[in-house]
Amino acid sequence: AQSVTQPDIHITVSEGASLELRCNYSYGATPYLFWYVQSPGQGLQLLLKYFSGDTLVQGIKGFEAEFKRSQSSFNLRKPSVHWSDAAEYFCAVALNSGGYQKVTFGTGTKLQVIP
Amino acid sequence: ETGVTQTPRHLVMGMTNKKSLKCEQHLGHNAMYWYKQSAKKPLELMFVYNFKEQTENNSVPSRFSPECPNSSHLFLHLHTLQPEDSALYLCASSQNLAGPIVYEQYFGPGTRLTVT
């Protein structure tokens, strides 16, 4: 069964600093990988996704993520964080096997941005 | 309306009440989902529908009863709930669950449910 781990429950960064949120997955083949963001009182919004091809993917709001097969990781990065980036971030992994699809979400990382 | 909408946004109900949550998607998708999001817990998938057919029920108690009359609408009927059922209930949709591609999910804003 697939699993996804976000090791950091809570991260605090200063506005303007760089950000990296970690995501590790466990799955035999190359999975489908997603990052979502959830602002308080809202649903989840897709930031970016990886299916195949270029391992560095660009998303919305200036985010990017890199797929590293050797490390089973899909870390989310942003060069310069803005106060509006304060939110909770979820990594998700999906498998597609014989027409059966299953998506598993990580437990989330809450990002606090300080002035 | 665009995207995925959910009503009501907030709901307070007693343990003996019957209420329903409504979800509507305006994206032309064929798969719809109900999730439960509780504080300090991972997102829990409850039910999945693809082309109006239920494809997944993750051992959800029978006091939660889903209904999917068409690909655009999804309901969650609630009856005799417990205080531990208080949570944010999220609806999502995706293009479909068939075929070789896993499509991303689009989420509604959720219904904040409080059971007293």
pLDDT tens digits for range A8-32: 999 999 999 999 999 999 876 778 9
Band the pLDDT of A52: cuts 50, 70, 90.
confident
Residue A98 is predicted with a pLDDT of: 65
Å from A18 to nearest chain B CA?
Answer: 26
- Identify the weakest region by mean pLDDT among A11-15, B17-21, B101-105: B101-105
- pLDDT at B58 (0 to 100): 82
The answer to whether B111 touches B34, Cβ cutoff 8 Å, is: no
Q: A32: how many CB neighbours lie within 10 A of its CB? A: 20
CA of A56 vs chain B CAs: smallest distance (Å): 18
pLDDT band at A99 (very low <50, low <70, confident <90, very high): low
Three-state DSSP class for B84?
helix
B87 → chain A, closest CA residue: A41
Residue with more model confidence, B96 or A92:
A92
